[in-house]
Amino acid sequence: MRARSAMAVAALTALVLTLPVTTASATPRALPVGPGQATAPAAFVPIGITRALDTRSYQENPAGAARKLQPGESFDVPLSNWKNHPPRELPVVPADATAVVVNVTATDTTADGYLTVRRDGGMPGAPTTSTLNFRAGETVSNMITVAVDPRGAGTSPQINVYNNAGTTDVVVDILGYYAPSTPQRPGHKYDPVRPTRLTDTRTEGGRLGRGSVVTANVARRDLGTADARAVVLNVTAVDPSTEGFVVAHPSSSPLPAEGSHLNYGPGRTVANQVVVPVGPDGTIEFFNTGSTDLLVDIVGAYGPSGHNLYSATTEQSRLLDTRYGSGEIAFSTHRLPVAGVSGIPADATAVTLNMTVTEPQSDGHLTVFPSDETAARPGTSNLNFNAGQTVANGVTTELGGDPGSVDIYHHAAGRSQLIADLTGYFVKG
């Protein structure tokens, strides 16, 4: 995660590594809220990584003051830029948006706990799901798609961040949003890709150092992504020896002035899902600031030839929690029926989930992929964990089988507890 600074790369890195449009007007809409409810299907509009909140900064904060989130606090986050002069609020997401894709980071944490990113902070009681889990002193990021809460004419909609325990700083970066397509603002439909590894520096080019750049060709005819305008990737830092971060951006565009997609620390393999616009040459660059190996897996793309629209759940629901049983055994595959469950249509083509591993007895990883008895398991991963560690990561996956289901491969020598929370789904449209 990066704070805004053009003074010096050294100052920028020091701050980061201590952790780890004009809009259309509208009136508030009454959306049905609760289990099984979702926003209307909509297309995706990618944007460059844009900061909506940094609680460490008085300027990048709707409160106009730098302060941490307190235990049990729900903090509303308008999807805007913030300035220290009038007009303070510069809306980034239009008022008719249905959902937003954000990268959320917790840093400077003082206790073990979790954050929940949701549509409405006014709902009674604590959330029943979580977005990311952290330990005291840890910096953790996760990407999530969440339904938005409208605020009225001339403003951006907002989302809410709930902090479970201790005090923590929070950073929210906007990656894109879902909205009805218009001639002035064409959106793109989604097509899933069989999970495919694009980059593995362990076998290609060697370990990355400070300032290294890796380029990946993501607009490929063989993957069905030749006209991609944005792609969904899972990016993993493998066995880093220093603290650092990774920023993904179109190769044809300069490095963003702020923001990051993946934060890592020494000795811990960590993954994060990212959505990145694709430049005219069809490639994406990954800028790295520490010492690590890097994996890049593609799982889907948005573009003119896409077929699927997205609906975000207005209240996230839990589809799987093995803590009510004995947990997932070593080197096993859990089949999770999804279509027709918890309000998901029977004809859903893909889903977005927040996957969490907790109480793992050994190091390992998860691979989430469409159920298919005739296809081999992909050689990719979605989430990496160490023994005793609770880790979450966003997952976008196609559905397979009848009913539409996903397979969750648990690659670990011991048992783990698995949790899957539904954040939304795709249907043809």
Q: pTM (2 decimals)?
A: 0.90
Q: Is the pLDDT of residue 310 over 50?
A: yes
Q: What average pLDDT does range 181-189 have in this prediction?
A: 90
Q: With contact defined as beta carbons under 8 Å apart, do 300 and 193 qualify? A: yes
Residue 83 sits at φ, ψ, to 5 deg, of -120, 160
Q: Return the CATH number of 189-303, one of 1.10.10, 2.60.120, 1.10.287, 1.10.238.
A: 2.60.120
Element (H, E) at 182: none
223-268 pLDDT, tens digit each: 999 999 999 999 999 999 999 999 999 998 999 988 999 999 999 9
Work out the pLDDT band at 154, boundaries 50, 70, 90.
Answer: confident
Where along the chain do the CATH 2.60.120 domains lie?
23-179, 189-303, 308-428
82-100 pLDDT, tens digit each: 877 788 889 999 999 999 9
User: Please, what is the average pLDDT of the chain?
Assistant: 90
Work out the pLDDT band at 104, boundaries 50, 70, 90.
Answer: very high
Residue 121 sits at φ, ψ, to 5 deg, of -80, -5
At the topology level, CATH places domain 23-179 in Jelly Rolls (2.60.120)
Residue in 100, 37, 128 with CA at minimum distance from that of residue 345: 37
Work out the pLDDT band at 35, boundaries 50, 70, 90.
Answer: low
Q: Which residues of 58-73 are buried (b: 16+ CB within 10 A; e: fewer)?
A: ebbbbeeeeebbeeee
Domain 308-428 has CATH 3.40.1570: no
Instruction: Write down the pLDDT at residue 83.
Output: 79
242-251 pLDDT, tens digit each: 999 999 999 9
DSSP string, 71-88: TT-EEEEESEEE-SSSS-
Residue in 401, 399, 389 with CA at minimum distance from that of residue 422: 399
